[in-house]
Amino acid sequence: MAQAWSTETVLALAPDAAAERAGHGLATPRAFSSAGSDGTVLWGLAAGSGQHPYQVVVDVSGTPSSIGYRCTCPSRKFPCKHVLGLTLLWSTGQVPPSAEPADFAALWWQDRLRTTAARARALQQAAPPTTPNPSDTGVASPASEEIGAEPTGADRTAPGAAGAAARKRAGRVAAGLEELERWLGDQVRTGLAGTPTKGRQHFERIAARMVDAQVPGVAARLREIPAVIGSTSSETASSWPARLLEEYALLRLLIVAHRRTGDPGDGAPIGPEMAATISAHLGFTRTAAEVLAGPPARDDWVLEGIREVAESKLSSRRFFLRGAGSGRWALVLQFRVGGGGWTGVAPTTPLGSSMAANLHFYPGSAPLRAQVGDVFSAGAPAAPAAAAAHTIAEARRAFAAVLALDPWTRRWPSVLDATPVRGAGGWLLVDAAGAAAPVRLEGTDPWLLAAAAGGLRSAVTVEWTPDGVVPLSVRSVDGVVQL
């Protein structure tokens, strides 16, 4: 039996202020006929402009962040005012309990159970199906497309039909990307000027089309755009039209690159690594087993940073490893759906120590994401990180080299030899040459960074981004401090 949610948490689900107001207005028993709740699902009929009332169903079995719902109204807001109104009504105890759900509610609930189970199975078997790409940490989570009302449900096809299914998918992808190409062209033809006023919906609509076209990586990029153009945090960031144009241009680049994978025309052919990078950015996934079948990279892998990103539905843990011998970086991911267990094999060595192990990289032109293979020994004290630490200029050059291989990369790990300093506009990491990289905190406590470094140049593991560095860990006199 679900605990009733507070009004505030329900209102927090509203996609915008207008929906919040409208939902509030509908939160009266009069607005819904034959409303009921069995403690797991809420249902009700809302009068609309058409002949038939809208059927509203809400899954309230979990927390507000795991809400699921459907409403037959034509609104493109998720959740719509009917869902909000009914849930608000329930949160104030005004929905009568009933053991017998309405037919439409029961049908939807069964459907939902099936798709949830299918998704959980898929997660068990494979890397999370919606992980957009290895080097992308992005603001929006891979799970963002699951938050919408209708679970899309992955197609499960019998092995015999695999070839046909692949062709069918290729056709969908091509058609979807063509649609996106037209859309991008339209944006630039009519001008970007009005975009911020169009709101999240503007991107949500085309992103939903990309989910249908089975390119969830593209959908995730589109859904990140409102946050990208809305952020004003970084001093080096340009104005929003420039940031928006950057995002559109990179999408256009991805479309062209995908097309040329199949048919390079009279240009240079696209190699298998680049093709793998392109398909990873489009959102094609590989199973862990596929990756583990690839060649191993044996090294003493030093665990340099751990970052946990908790999202409403899908949380992720990111382990940053540096090969002591090769100097190569690897990113190992774990995922968790809701309150379940972590899937994926994590490195078995404490932060700051090293493990002799085989990592298997996801193929690509600038491989970063990896699976942990055989581990030979773990927990060895790591060689001083100072040897691996870079100046800011070196880190920038390394990032540029990665971009040359994978132009869609947003961030890349690095160890900087730098001092955290508080500047007028925020925290900086300043190296011996006086170069300053702005610090993007993304939730870390800058005072922890300052405490660990003690005003001295320290080995700071960061993710480098063009707009600043995201600190992950610091080597302090008292050991490695996770940020």
Number of CB atoms found within 10 A of residue 60's CB: 26
CA distance 355 to 404: 30
According to the 3-state scheme, what is the secondary structure of 158-173?
Answer: CHHHHHHHHHHHHHHH
- Among 193, 197, 295, 339, the residue binding another protein under the rule CB under 8 A is 193
CA distance 134 to 330: 10
Q: What is the edge-to-edge ordering of all strands in the sheet holding 342-343? A: 342-343, 329-337, 314-323, 296-309, 353-361, 370-381
Both tokens assigned to 414 = 């690095």
Would you count residue 450 as binding another protein (CB under 8 A)?
yes
Residue 455 CB partners (closer than 8 Å, separation 6+): 419
CB nearer to another protein: give 41 or 402. 402
Minimal distance in Å, beta carbon 269 to another protein?
A: 10
The site map against another protein for 92-111 (x = CB under 8 A) is: --------------------
**For residue 328, with 0-12 CB atoms within 10 Å meaning exposed, 13-18 middle and 19 or more buried, which class applies?**
middle
Would you count residue 246 as binding another protein (CB under 8 A)?
yes
H or E element at residue 229: helix 216-230
Strands 41-46 and 54-59, bridge-based pairing: antiparallel
Q: Which of residues 402-431 bind another protein (CB under 8 A)?
A: 403-404, 407, 419-423, 428, 430
The three-state secondary structure class of 362 is coil
Give me the residues paired with residue 36 across strands: 43
If we measure between CA atoms, which residue out of 78, 58, 80 comes closest to residue 69?
58
- Among 8, 100, 155, 478, the residue binding another protein under the rule CB under 8 A is 478
Minimal distance in Å, beta carbon 218 to another protein?
A: 15
Minimal distance in Å, beta carbon 355 to another protein?
A: 20
Q: Which of residues 262-301 bind another protein (CB under 8 A)?
A: 264-268
Would you count residue 455 as binding another protein (CB under 8 A)?
yes
Number of CB atoms found within 10 A of residue 481's CB: 18
Q: Are 277 and 364 in contact (CB under 8 A)?
A: yes
Buried/exposed 142-176: b ≥16 CB within 10 Å, e otherwise: bbbbbbbeebbeeeeeeeeeeeeeeeebeeebeeb
Would you count residue 477 as binding another protein (CB under 8 A)?
yes
CB nearer to another protein: give 29 or 262. 262
- Among 9, 66, 98, 476, the residue binding another protein under the rule CB under 8 A is 476
Alpha-helix runs per DSSP H in 283-344: 288-292
Minimal distance in Å, beta carbon 425 to another protein?
A: 10
Minimal distance in Å, beta carbon 402 to another protein?
A: 9
CB nearer to another protein: give 192 or 375. 192
Which residue matches tokens 């500047």? 423
- State the number of binding residues for another protein (CB under 8 A): 66
Radius of gyration of the chain (CA): 24
Minimal distance in Å, beta carbon 92 to another protein?
A: 20
Both tokens assigned to 399 = 């990032």
- Among 159, 160, 163, 191, the residue binding another protein under the rule CB under 8 A is 191
- Among 28, 110, 157, 236, the residue binding another protein under the rule CB under 8 A is 236
- Among 190, 233, 326, 377, the residue binding another protein under the rule CB under 8 A is 190
CA distance 355 to 349: 6
CB nearer to another protein: give 219 or 395. 395
Minimal distance in Å, beta carbon 181 to another protein?
A: 8
Minimal distance in Å, beta carbon 95 to another protein?
A: 23
CB nearer to another protein: give 309 or 405. 405
Strands 412-423 and 314-323, bridge-based pairing: unpaired
Minimal distance in Å, beta carbon 47 to another protein?
A: 38
- Among 222, 297, 452, 460, the residue binding another protein under the rule CB under 8 A is 452
CB nearer to another protein: give 253 or 380. 253
CB nearer to another protein: give 246 or 442. 246
Backbone angles phi, psi at 141, to 5 degrees: -85, 165
CA distance 303 to 347: 8
Would you count residue 192 as binding another protein (CB under 8 A)?
yes
Interface with another protein by CB under 8 A: which range of 62-70, 144-152, 161-169, 242-250?
A: 242-250
The site map against another protein for 363-402 (x = CB under 8 A) is: -----------------------------x---x--xx--
- Among 453, 459, 462, 472, the residue binding another protein under the rule CB under 8 A is 453
Give me the residues that bind another protein (CB under 8 A), please.
Answer: 181, 184-186, 188-193, 236, 239, 241-242, 245-246, 248-250, 252-253, 256, 260, 264-268, 392, 396, 399-400, 403-404, 407, 419-423, 428, 430, 434-438, 445, 447-448, 450-457, 466-467, 476-479, 481-482
